[in-house]
Structure 1
Amino acid sequence: MDPYRNPFAPGAGSRPPELAGRDIILEAARISCGRAINGKNARSMMLLGLRGTGKTVLLNEIGRNAEKQGLLVSRVESPEGESLARLIYPEMRKVMRSLSAVDAAKQIATRGLKGLRNFAAIFKIEIAGVEIGVEHEPGLADTGELQYDLPELFILIGKAAQAAGRGWLLLIDEVQYLSEADLSALIVAMHRISQEGLPVLLVGAGLPQIARLAGEAKSYAERLFQYPAVGALDTVSAGQAIEKPIIEEEARIAPGALRAIVERTQGYPFFLQEWASVVWNNSDGPEIKAADVDQSYDETLALLDAGFFKVRIDRLTKSEVQFVKAMAQLGDGPYAMADIAQAMGRTQKSLGPARSNIISKGMIYSTDHGYIDFSVPLFAEFMRRQG
């Protein structure tokens, strides 16, 4: 069929044509944003899920909805090794400057800009362009301790937003890459916001260990956030995600063809989009048949192996590759560290550094004490295909 009309979007973070099966999460976020901007207590949110489940897509959709509700929205992604201070400073500055243009919020926002200038100086953040006419205010966000300075700035943003009749939504992707100290400071800041009842919300997204990491950083984090799981789509939602865009392009898909895609991808959104995209391009149409799906399987696997999977295995050292190979040869996870050690002829203690490094690279995560699993769906199958 015509590739120019191919409705599917297998790119990283690309919004699929049909965002199926996520209504509950999107509605919860809409309610929180609506409550916040109306002066009601609202809970922030941490989206938890494996790679390729659509967390980034959901973050972006939540942001778009929040903008329609009148909130100022900031989007950042946490790369490995970057400090939270450097990551969100530019966003806080943009929000403060925007609020300073509103008469009712100008005084508070101007004070916030002073605090940001102190913050940038103390954390050695280089900025292009200095705020003209903004002086330092000694004692405001200048301790050099993020757990003290960040809450001060968040509260000033919240008060300025409240005065302006607005709200602020901070979206942070890849939360698992934040350091323990930075995550703790972020949680402290949101706790203060919650206590003050200010219209500031955080929606983060990351791997499943985020809930545990947040709880370890601050015990009250469990009550501060909602933790919706973003996993594989159920059979109905997965089918809807494939069939509806095809029908909207005035084409059809046979029930057996649809069932094959849903079952063999196990409902994981990225894989659904990838396979459906390949099938569309390879089908003569106007109906996609089961034979079209079967004939497109090898090409889809090759694309996934060369892209989605390979970019992740390439980040590992040779010894780390051996570690994940041993995991995959044990079958599908979760995997007991004792079994991995036995398979490799090593002690669990000697594998500790490799385990820690692979977790820090976001390839595996701890599912329970003594157990780990891949953070990438179907990764064990990929490793077994490599021989």
Structure 2
Amino acid sequence: MSLLTPFNPNFGKVPQLFLDRQQIVDNYVQELCNSGQSINTPYQTTLIYGVRGSGKTSLLTDITNKIKDQSDWLVIDLINNDQIIDNLIDNLRIASSSNFKKVLKQINTLQVGNIGINLSDHEAAQITVLIELLKKLQKQNKKVLITIDEVASTPTLQNFAAIYQLLIRQELGIAIIMTGLPENISELQNNKVLTFLLRSNRIELSALKSSSIINAFQENFEKGQRQISSPIATQLTSLTKGYAYAFQLLGYLIWQQTEPNDIIDEKIIQQVKPEYQRQLNNNVYSLIYRSLSAKDREFIKAMANISSGQIKLADIAKQTQHASNYWSMYRKRLIDQQIIKNVTYGYVSFNLPLFQEFIKEQAELEKFDF
């Protein structure tokens, strides 16, 4: 029977090889579980952010699975839609074995303090119900962790976050953990009503350590009876640039291309590289590219045309016929989105593997009007 691959490029699942993330999970779970009934910890409100494919959903899944094992915690997974508050109420009502239909019928208005939102009668009633449900759960020594994956700064979520702020001010046993792209988290935090999110615990999912990837490639290919040298493991690691999805994808493709007792060499790498590029393009890069503004695209196209490796900002200015300071805002935005990075003063480089090749191909396609 053939050995199963330990590499898993599927989105959202907790991979078997969860590099450089376990400490984050352990720290969060320990903080939350030792926070007392009123959840006295900076981790009460936590935002996880990173580029697509950095492992946000996998991290969230791993955290919530461990919190669900705690007898004094209730985990509620919510979707960012118009029914988000109603869905929270339904989950809390079921968990606390309560029926609040009579309360909803009786309440007409509620003074909830100045939280910067205009509440309808229905919203005021919702808050009252939430407070009563959370108080009942507190009496049962239960605390609530809300999770929301891939948030965006929609009016619905802004309203939900403002209501959540009110609930934590009541010292109720409620915590929240949200994931999102860097630009979406930033927009949510900078909303004038939700500045409390600027003080939240933020977890940035940056690149995996090269040493972790090299060791993972060597150990797991050898366990799978594939032979791999240190230079080849280093070459594979360089091809991932520390990008979590790329590590899983490249490992998976190499595994599928080989059999036990095979030697992983340069020939194998070249055989899988076209499929590696294709899946990166289709599964991630096309989505990233579509989300960029016209000026963002112009900047990275200029980068792609100049050279590989470190790219001089002065050369980008020369090619685009715009001074370097003209691009400051767009450069910062692309860095914040983890698409490019500062290498040294006056130089930038692409942060994602084979992204330069994708941009070159995209620029060629855009020359044609289909």
TM-score range with shorter-chain normalisation?
0.7 to 0.9
- TM-superposed CA distance for 1:66, in Å, is 1.0
Relative to structure 1, is the Cα distance of residues 49 and 319 closer, same or farther in structure 2, using a 3 angstrom cutoff? closer
Letter in 2 for 1:65: K
Maintained 8 Å contact 2:51/2:339? no
1:7 aligns to what? 6
Match of 2:254 in 1: 279
**Which one of the candidate residues 192, 195, 215 is aligned to 1:219?**
195
C-alpha spacing 1:26/1:182, structure 2 compared with 1 (3 Å): same
Matches of 1:272 and 1:62 in 2, distance apart?
Answer: 21
Q: Indicate which of 307, 315, 339 corresponds to 2:283.
A: 307
| TM-aligned CA distance change 1:262 to 1:158, over 3 Å | farther
Letter in structure 2 aligned against 1:382: F
Return the TM-score normalized by structure 2.
0.73
- What is the TM-score normalised by the length of structure 1? 0.70
Is 1:173 matched with 2:149?
yes
Aligned-partner SS, 1:228: strand
- The letter for the 2-side match of 1:99 is A
1:161 shift after superposition: 2.4
- What is the letter of the counterpart of residue 88 of structure 1? I
2:167 alignment counterpart:
193
SS at 1:73's partner residue?
A: strand
Answering whether residue 72 of structure 2 is matched by residue 59 of structure 1, we say: no
Q: Distance in 2 between matches of 1:245 and 1:251?
A: 9
> What is the match of residue 297 of structure 1?
273
1:376 to 1:149, Cα distance in 2 relative to 1, 3 A:
farther
Deviation of the 1:226 alpha carbon: 0.6
1:118-160 deviation line (CA, Å, top 9, x unaligned): xxxxxxxxxxxxxxxxx45322699339996775555344323
Cα deviation for residue 261 of structure 1 reads 1.6
Deviation by residue 1:236-265 (Cα, 9 ceiling, x = unmatched): 322344445445545554322321221221
Measured in 1, the distance between the counterparts of 2:94 and 2:147 equals 18
Amino acid aligned to 1:297: K
Residue pairs, 1:154-173, within 5 angstroms = 154-173=130-149
Quote the residue 1:139 is aligned against. 109
**How far is 1:29 from its partner?**
1.9
The Cα of 1:374 is off from its aligned counterpart by 11
CA distance in 2, matches of 1:242, 1:94: 46
Between the two structures, name the one with larger relative contact order (CA 8 Å, sep ≥ 6).
1
Deviations 1:310-340 (A, max 9, x none): 344467799986675356446789998x998
For the aligned residue pairs, the C-alpha RMSD in angstroms reads: 4.4
1:231 to 193, 203, 206: 206
What displacement does 1:35 show?
3.3
Mark the CA change 1:227 to 1:317 in structure 2 (over 3 Å): closer, same or farther.
Answer: closer
Kindly indicate whether the alpha-carbon contact (under 8 Å) linking 2:109 and 2:121 is maintained by their aligned counterparts in 1: no
Residue number in structure 2 paired with 1:75: 77
Query: For the residues of structure 1 that align with 2:282 and 2:291, how far apart are their CA atoms?
Result: 14
Q: Which amino acid aligns with 2:179?
A: A
1:34-75: CA deviations, max 9, x gaps? Answer: 135644413321012111110110011111111011322222
1:202-258 deviation per Cα after TM superposition (whole angstroms, max 9, x unaligned)? 1111122324641443333232x1111111111232234444544554555432232
The structural deviation recorded for 1:169 is 1.3
The residue number in structure 2 matching 1:29 is 28
Q: What one-letter code is carried by the residue in structure 2 that aligns with 1:207?
A: L
CA distance in 2 between partners of 1:296 and 1:215 (Å): 43
Deviates more, 1:67-76 or 1:145-154: 145-154
Aligned counterparts of 2:83 and 2:76: Cα–Cα separation in 1: 11
Q: Does the Cα contact within 8 Å between 1:252 and 1:287 map onto a contact in 2?
A: yes
Q: More displaced, 246-255 or 232-241?
A: 246-255
CA distance in structure 1 between the partners assigned to 2:156 and 2:210 by the alignment = 39
